[in-house]
Structure formats: C-alpha cells, structure tokens
Structure 1
Amino acid sequence: MIVRSRWLLISVGLGMLLNPLNSSMISVAISRLQNVYHLDFTGVSWIIFSFYIASSIAQPVMGKASDIFGRKKIFLAGLIVSFVASLLAPLSPNFGWLIVFRIVQAIGTSMMVSVGMAIVRIHITEKQASALSVMSIFLSGAAAIGPFIGGVLIHWWDWPAIFLVNIPFVVTSFLLAWRNIPKDESPTSVAQGMSIRKWFDLIDASGILFFTVGLVALLVGLLSAKSSGHVSFEHVIVGLIGLVALGAFVRHELKVTSPFIPLRTFAKYPAMTWVNIEFILVNVLYYSLFFGLPSYLQMVRHVSEFHTGILMLSLGLCSLVVSPIAGRWIDKSGPRPALLLSAILMTFGSVWLVTLNQTSPVISVCLALAAFGISNGLNNVGMQAALFQSSPKEIIGVASGVFMTSRYLGTILSSLLLGIIMGDKFSDGGFQLLGAILSVIALSLVFMSWRRRKSGQLEES
C-alpha cells in the first residue's frame, strides 16, 4: 500500500473511531450519571439509546448528502459538529441538554462513518479488503477499549472527561483529512441555482422525514416498553405510528425520481439487501454477548468489575488480531469463506453459552469470548467487503449509510432481546435460554453464508 493511501486511511480512521468509541465508552458512566442527575436506570439508559437511534438515522442521511454535496465536505463538517458537541456536553445544565448534545454527537460522528467508508471505496482501488481491515482496526479497536478508557477517565477526572477526550482525535483527524482526502469532484454543480423546493426534492426531504419519524417512533415504542417492563396502550400507539410512517416512506420512495434510499435499486441488487439482513443478525449475536455477558458474570457469578473488564477486553483483542489476517484472506478468496467460518464460530460460541453455569471454569467463558472475538474480526472485514461487492459504485455513500444503520438496528434488537429474556434479573437459566436463541440465529447465518454466491477478488463496480 502506497504512503498516500496509508495517510488517507489514518486520516479517515481517526474520525471514524469516534462513533464506536463514544457508543461503548458511555456504558461505564451510567452509574455516575445516575448519581449526578438523580435518575433511575430506566431514565439514564436513554443516553445510550438516543445515541443508537440518532446514529441509525444519520448514517443513511449523511450517505445521501455525501453523494450530492461531496464526501470530503461532509467528513470535515462531521468533525466540526463532533468538536462542538464534545465541548458543550460537559457544560449541560441538566440531563435533557446532555441528551441533546449526545444526539448532536451521534450525528457528527455518523457523518464520518458512512462517508469514511465511501472515501476508502473511491480512492483506494487496490487491495481494498486490506484497507477495510485497517478501518476495522480503528472501529473494532475503539469499541473494544472504549469501556476501559471510559473507566480510567471517570476514575481520575469524572464523567465530563469521556466527552473532552474526543477533542484531540477531532483536531488531529481534521488537520490530516484536510491535507490527505482528495478534493470532491464538484458534486454540487447539479444543485446550483435551484429553489428551496427543488433543493428539498434533490435531497428527498419528505423521504428523510418519513424515515426519521417512522424509525424514531418504532424504536421509541419498543425501547419504552423494554425500559418500563410492560407493554402499555401508549407504547402500542407509538409503535403503530412508526409502522405507518415507514409504510408511507416505502410508498414515497418508490414514486420519487431522486429517492433518499433507492429501494428500486435494492430490488435490482438483492445481494445488497441480504448483506444488510445478515449484518443485522451478526450484530444481534455479537452485542447480545457484549452487553449480556458482563452482567451475567457480575450478577450471577459474582466476578469483580475489574476482572470482568479484563475478560471482555480479550473479546476486542481477538477481533483486532484477526482483522488484518481476514483482510489478506478476503483479498485472495473473497468474503464467502471468511463469513462462513465466522458463522460457524458464532454457532459454536452460542452453543457453548448454553453449557455455562455457576460452576463452569473461567476457560469456558474464554472459549465463548474467543469464538465471538474471532468471528467479529472476520465479520468486520467480510461484511463490508460483501457490501462493496454487491453495491453499484454510484450509490456507495447511501449503501454504506444503510449498512451502518443495520449495525445499530442489530445493537438495539440485542438490547431488547436481553430485556425480554432476562427482565431485571440475570440467572443461569435465562443466560442458557439466550444461548439457545443465539444458536438458532447463528445457524441461520451459516445457511446464508453457505448459499452466498462464490466469488474471488472484489468486483469493481
């Protein structure tokens, strides 16, 4: 890989890591925020859910914006938005304002994730899987060490430090990106001289509105029911509003000439749709373990927080070690073999969870973590490579945005699954039931990967 490509990857990677870093780092601050703002767990948990909801909406929106207005412009704008949010969040006068700045932070970091992948796709044309493995190191590495970094920062400086720590990353990425990301090819020329109405038509503002209202209402209904522990009439109404809005979104997108999410294109390329479905399932599996195992270890097996953190860090380290190996393998053989092995490993890890109880040796936990960690390293590169293989180049920004939305939907669904199975109390029986359900999901991924069309090198589109 030439020197210029390496600096481009570093420039983009430093910006992209902010999203997974902040989505995982906040988890260790929940207890502290409860005390500061005098909230119960249900109330304070919305600082996590709001980030996921905002990210799942912002990813495809920013992918569309980058296709129209230019990827470098959107990437740099995202860094500026992230800088402002990280600076103002510690100054929040109440929890409501902290949620607002958290949402702004999610939007800013989302601008860099979907656009960053598109920049790599466009400007690095050789050994793309290897380039993706470098991006995977930034993304999975940030997610893996986020809780550890957050714990250190809160221990020494208190919770505002988990926002302020973003600033050096933002400044460094901005300076490098300004220098190393190639200039945009005047994507705004088609939009010059347009009226406000035509501008809205160009970016499909109505489609964005339907999509936003539908997804927010549906997720808020589901998450509110999960947080309160029961399904009320209000939850059902909010969920139905979401479904109706999403139905209106689908109908609208099939009619307009410049859709926000080109559903007809997805119908034309069904492999691209299946990649997103697989990615949702992959993240349901991974984050069910990521969120569920620490609580199980602490509540059921009475493992200390320190030792739980060490065990969970091994999950991320396995992923980091495997990612560059996966990149070289996928460059030679395509994504299918790696994704098939990943699905088999997740099946093994899920079945192994069924065997865990209070007397199981620690090595049993390590085996499950290793299986999921290795599979995550394979998936981080393999799923993105499969997306690039199945997506036409002209909509790669939107495709990358929808792809990242799939990640957050899987994350949210994993949280809902844990809430339904465990309720307020973790137990051996509940965790074994979780393992059984994850085993079924993992087996479905084995079948999907086996049926995947065989392919060698990544296709150029």
Structure 2
Amino acid sequence: MQGPDSGGGFNRRLLAPMVLGSVLNPINSSMIAVALVPIGAAFGAPPAETAWLVSALYLATAVGQPVIGRLVDGYGPRRLYLAGTALVGLAGLVGVLAPSLGLLIVARVLLGIGTSAAYPAAMHLTRSEAERTGRSSPTGVLTVLAVANQTIAVVGPTLGGVLIGLGGWRTIFAVNIPLSLACLVLGAARLPAAAPRREGGERLDRAGIVLFAVLLLALMLFVMEPSAAHWYLLALAVPAGVGFAVRESRARSPFIDLRSLARNRPLVATYLRQVLGYTATYAFLYGYTQWLEEGRGLSAASAGLVLLPLSLSALTVSALTGRRPAVRGKLVVGAAVQMAACAALLAAGPTSPPVLLIVVGVLAGVPQGLIGLANQTALYHQADPAAIAAAAGLLRTFMYLGAMAASAANAAFFPHGATTGGLHHLALFMLGGAALLFLLVLPDRSLGRTESLAVKES
C-alpha cells in the first residue's frame, strides 16, 4: 500500500472511499422513510406493501454483511468494494426505471447487498493499515466512520425530502448512480490491490452461508410479523439452525467459526450488547416519532424539529468522545442514560410541554452516540485480525436484528395507532432492555482488558 501518505501512519487517501462507501447503507435506509407515501400513491399500494421497501433492504443487508465480510477477509477489500458499489449503481438504475412496486423491491434488495461491502472493507483496511504501520491508532478512523454514518442517517430523511421535491420519488434511487460512480473512481484509484489471504486449498463455505441465510431470514421474517399463522417460519429456522451448527463445527474452513466464537466470550458479549442497545434505539426512533404525530398531535415538520436535539446530542457525544478509548465507560454511561430516557418517556403525554419532549430527545441521543461507537471499538480489538471484516459484518447484522425487534415491539404496542398508553408500555419494554444492557456491562471485566489494549494502541 504505497503512496505519498503511507510513510508512517494511516494512509489518509483511504479515508474518502472508506467513508463514502460506508454511508451508502444509512443513506438508503433513511431516505426511503419520506418516499413511502408517494410511492404507494404512484402504484396504488397500501402501507403493508410499501413497507417491504424498508424490510427488503434490512433483510438483504443483515444477511449480506457477514457473507461479504467473509469474502473481504478471503479476497481482499478492493474487489468486493468495487463489485458492491457497482451493484449500488445498478440498483439505482433499476429503481429509476422500475414500472412496478415489485421491481422497486428488487432494487432495494440489490441496494442491501451492494451496500454490504463497504463497511467490512473499511474495517479490514483499518486493521491492515495497523499491521502495515506497526503502530495502530484506529480510534480516530473508527470515530470518522461512526460519525459519518450517524450524520448521514440523521440528514437522510431531509435529503430525501429535498430530492423528492426537486424531481419526484425516483430521485432517491437515481442519487445512487453518481454516488456509485464516485465510489468506483475513488476505490479504483486508492484501494490497495492486496493479495488474498486465502490459502490455496481453502474453499468458501457455501453450504454454511446458505444455511445461515435461511436461518436468519426465517427468524427475521417471523420477528417482523410474529403470529401463529407464521409458525412455519420457526419450523424452518430450527432445522436450518441445527444444520448450520453441525456444518460449522465440521467444516474445514467454516463461514462462521462457532467453536472459536464460543471461546471468544468478550466478542459474543459485544454482539449481545449490539442487539440490546439498538433495540432500544430503534424502538425510540420509530415509536416516539410516531407518537409525536399521532398521540401528541404534531405535524411531521414539527416532529422533525422536536427530534433535532436527539440528532445533535448523538453527533456531539460521538465527536467529543470518539478519540477516547474508554469502551467500558461509554457503555456504562450509555446504558444508564438510555434507562433515564426510557423512564422520561413514562412522563410524556398529550399535554406535555415542548421542553419535556426536547429533554427526552436529548437524553435518547446520548446512548445513540456512545453505544454503537463503543461496540465498534471493542470488536476491533476482540475479533481475530484475519477475520475482522466478517466480524464487523456480523456486528451490523446484530444491529439490524435490534431494528427488527424494535419494529415488532412497535407493532405490538401500537396495534391501532400510537396512543400514549402504548408509548408507556413501549417505554417499559425499552427500559427492561436498557437495564439488561447495563447489567451485562457492569460486571464484564473483559472490557477493562479491551480498553487497556485500545489505550496501548492509541
């Protein structure tokens, strides 16, 4: 990895393709929120059908991240990054030309798969740069990735609204074409053509990948719409899970080395924290926003303004603490403030003053800015360096599991609309998850060792 910036520290030329590629997923996840209504009107589709535009990307990404991460570890980041971002451009073109809702959903699946490459590639590059320079200092790079992704997720709906106002809902698909081209140009010019790490006789565990995909899709589809009518999904998940466990315990080169993962308890704990933290985060974002409009009676624009302090506090906390490798401290504070935010929701009602609504948002933004960044830093130091991309992809999968759990909770507590009573029940559910996260972090001594390693390498 040669270049003018490769003398003694992190090659800064890598940052632009890393950051631009990694934000493709959050920008497509968030822009769609403001396009569902006009898309439904265009195709005469009810909300139950347009909701698949959201779910399709989540499902594709949840499966695609660890799969493509495994490929990045084996073949290097360059070719997967270029292939993934090229697929994003193709998906944008399909979306622009799609004559039906079905093809739009296909475009979203392609977007989910294509945007799954850049984040594992970025984590792989961060690790490989540490090995190249011999003096690892990843906290700054990890912070840039986290803040960029959070910023794009925040401004995504606003950007989507502007694009729709300028050229209609198809522009949120069209924007992927120039973004894809920019990634392809930057990636081709700056990403290293590293030799694959895969040994000559090693083969990709295709059977493990298929079983993992079936297991995850069945579970996530059930969580999205849990009911007795969908029992067959659980019936499918059980044999897929058993088959996956058997396969991975016997495979010469397993897709996910379950035996090594079982021995790496700190990494398993990080994945559990990711699910718990993002279940509460997404439940708040979905549920609180819906209640502000339906239960509190605010307009969409006013609700957006009330949520602005949440976004600002999350970004501020990330920016101020990102370079500090205090993993355990971030998780303890994040979980504690998350509990406080959930408790504050219990005081919210139809006549609550705006100050209370804003305070709730500010409190909710703090854990959003701490927990994800802390888990990302912890994973960087806990995962096997040779499998960092697959581990990072799996971290994103657990994040989307939290999102799906949050969606199921919102559906359960808001069966006939976002009432104040439903919000309070949702708050208790979130409070339980936040308390469990706090109890998981507090006695975890391995976080102290992870933090010491992070300080040493900073």
**Is the counterpart of residue 279 in structure 1 residue 289 in structure 2?**
no
Answer whether contact 1:222 1:239 (CA < 8 A) is retained. Answer: no
**Is the counterpart of residue 174 in structure 1 residue 170 in structure 2?**
no
**Is the counterpart of residue 142 in structure 1 residue 152 in structure 2?**
yes
Answer whether contact 1:144 1:315 (CA < 8 A) is retained. Answer: no
Within 5 A, what are the aligned runs for 1:435-446?
A: 435-446=427-438
Alpha-carbon separation, structure 2, partners of 1:4 and 1:115: 15
Alpha-carbon separation, structure 2, partners of 1:368 and 1:20: 24
Structure 1 residue aligned with 2:85? 79
* 1:232 Cα offset (Å): 4.0
TM-score (norm: length of structure 1):
0.92
Answer whether contact 1:348 1:371 (CA < 8 A) is retained. Answer: yes
- Aligned to 2:324, which of 298, 311, 329? 329
User: Which amino acid is the alignment partner of residue 403 of structure 2?
Assistant: T
User: Which amino acid is the alignment partner of residue 452 of structure 2?
Assistant: G
User: Which amino acid is the alignment partner of residue 362 of structure 1?
Assistant: P
Structure 1, residues 330-383: CA drift from partner, whole Å, max 9, x if none?
Answer: 2xxx31111111111101101101111111111212112112212111123211
Structure 1 residue aligned with 2:304? 309
Alpha-carbon separation, structure 1, partners of 2:199 and 2:274: 35
* 1:245 Cα offset (Å): 1.0
Would the alpha carbon gap of residues 344 and 395 (structure 1) be closer, same or farther in structure 2, given more than 3 Å must change? same
Answer whether contact 1:114 1:401 (CA < 8 A) is retained. Answer: yes
Moved more, 309-318 or 202-211: 309-318
Answer whether contact 1:14 1:170 (CA < 8 A) is retained. Answer: no
Answer whether contact 1:218 1:240 (CA < 8 A) is retained. Answer: no
Query: Is the partner of 2:372 in helix, strand or coil?
Result: helix
Answer whether contact 1:115 1:400 (CA < 8 A) is retained. Answer: no
Alpha-carbon separation, structure 1, partners of 2:306 and 2:9: 36
**Is the counterpart of residue 162 in structure 1 residue 172 in structure 2?**
yes
Structure 1, residues 247-272: CA drift from partner, whole Å, max 9, x if none?
Answer: 21112111111111111111111110
* 1:172 Cα offset (Å): 2.1
Instruction: Give the count of matched residue pairs.
Output: 442
Query: Is the partner of 2:331 in helix, strand or coil?
Result: helix
Alpha-carbon separation, structure 1, partners of 2:196 and 2:428: 52
Query: Is the partner of 2:116 in helix, strand or coil?
Result: helix
Moved more, 168-177 or 265-274: 168-177
Structure 1, residues 220-263: CA drift from partner, whole Å, max 9, x if none?
Answer: 233244xxxxx243x11122212321221112111111111111
Query: Is the partner of 2:194 in helix, strand or coil?
Result: coil
Structure 1 residue aligned with 2:141? 131
Alpha-carbon separation, structure 2, partners of 1:410 and 1:314: 23
* 1:189 Cα offset (Å): 6.1
Alpha-carbon separation, structure 2, partners of 1:246 and 1:29: 36
Within 5 A, what are the aligned runs for 1:5-84?
A: 5-84=11-90
TM-score (norm: length of structure 2):
0.92
* 1:178 Cα offset (Å): 2.2
Answer whether contact 2:342 2:428 (CA < 8 A) is retained. Answer: yes
Structure 2 residue aligned with 1:456? 452
Answer whether contact 1:60 1:401 (CA < 8 A) is retained. Answer: yes
Alpha-carbon separation, structure 2, partners of 1:279 and 1:241: 25
Answer whether contact 2:81 2:117 (CA < 8 A) is retained. Answer: yes
Q: Structure 2: which 5+ residue stretches go unaligned?
A: none
Alpha-carbon separation, structure 1, partners of 2:399 and 2:128: 22
* 1:127 Cα offset (Å): 2.5
Moved more, 359-368 or 348-357: 359-368
Answer whether contact 2:94 2:103 (CA < 8 A) is retained. Answer: no
* 1:166 Cα offset (Å): 2.1
- Aligned to 1:348, which of 340, 350, 355? 340
* 1:174 Cα offset (Å): 2.2
The percentage of counterpart residues that share the same residue type is 28
Alpha-carbon separation, structure 2, partners of 1:3 and 1:261: 32
* 1:156 Cα offset (Å): 2.2
- Aligned to 1:411, which of 403, 410, 418? 403
**Is the counterpart of residue 245 in structure 1 residue 252 in structure 2?**
no
Would the alpha carbon gap of residues 84 and 394 (structure 1) be closer, same or farther in structure 2, given more than 3 Å must change? same
Would the alpha carbon gap of residues 132 and 35 (structure 1) be closer, same or farther in structure 2, given more than 3 Å must change? same
Alpha-carbon separation, structure 2, partners of 1:439 and 1:223: 21
Structure 1, residues 151-182: CA drift from partner, whole Å, max 9, x if none?
Answer: 11112211111111122322222222222222
Moved more, 265-274 or 169-178: 169-178
Structure 2 residue aligned with 1:196? none
User: Which amino acid is the alignment partner of residue 430 of structure 1?
Assistant: G
Alpha-carbon separation, structure 2, partners of 1:326 and 1:387: 17
Alpha-carbon separation, structure 2, partners of 1:266 and 1:139: 27
Structure 2 residue aligned with 1:269? 264
Moved more, 54-63 or 124-133: 124-133
Structure 2 residue aligned with 1:153? 163
User: Which amino acid is the alignment partner of residue 137 of structure 1?
Assistant: V
* 1:431 Cα offset (Å): 0.3
Answer whether contact 2:140 2:323 (CA < 8 A) is retained. Answer: yes
Structure 1 residue aligned with 2:355? 363
* 1:310 Cα offset (Å): 2.1
Query: Is the partner of 1:443 in helix, strand or coil?
Result: helix
Answer whether contact 1:67 1:187 (CA < 8 A) is retained. Answer: yes
Alpha-carbon separation, structure 1, partners of 2:10 and 2:268: 33
Measured on the aligned residues, the alpha-carbon RMSD in Å equals 1.8
* 1:319 Cα offset (Å): 1.7
Answer whether contact 1:326 1:382 (CA < 8 A) is retained. Answer: no
Alpha-carbon separation, structure 2, partners of 1:274 and 1:423: 33
* 1:277 Cα offset (Å): 0.6
Query: Is the partner of 2:35 in helix, strand or coil?
Result: helix
Structure 1, residues 128-173: CA drift from partner, whole Å, max 9, x if none?
Answer: 1121110011111111111111111112211111111122322222
Would the alpha carbon gap of residues 224 and 445 (structure 1) be closer, same or farther in structure 2, given more than 3 Å must change? closer
Alpha-carbon separation, structure 2, partners of 1:98 and 1:4: 40
Alpha-carbon separation, structure 2, partners of 1:276 and 1:3: 30
Answer whether contact 1:129 1:381 (CA < 8 A) is retained. Answer: no
- Aligned to 1:380, which of 369, 372, 380? 372
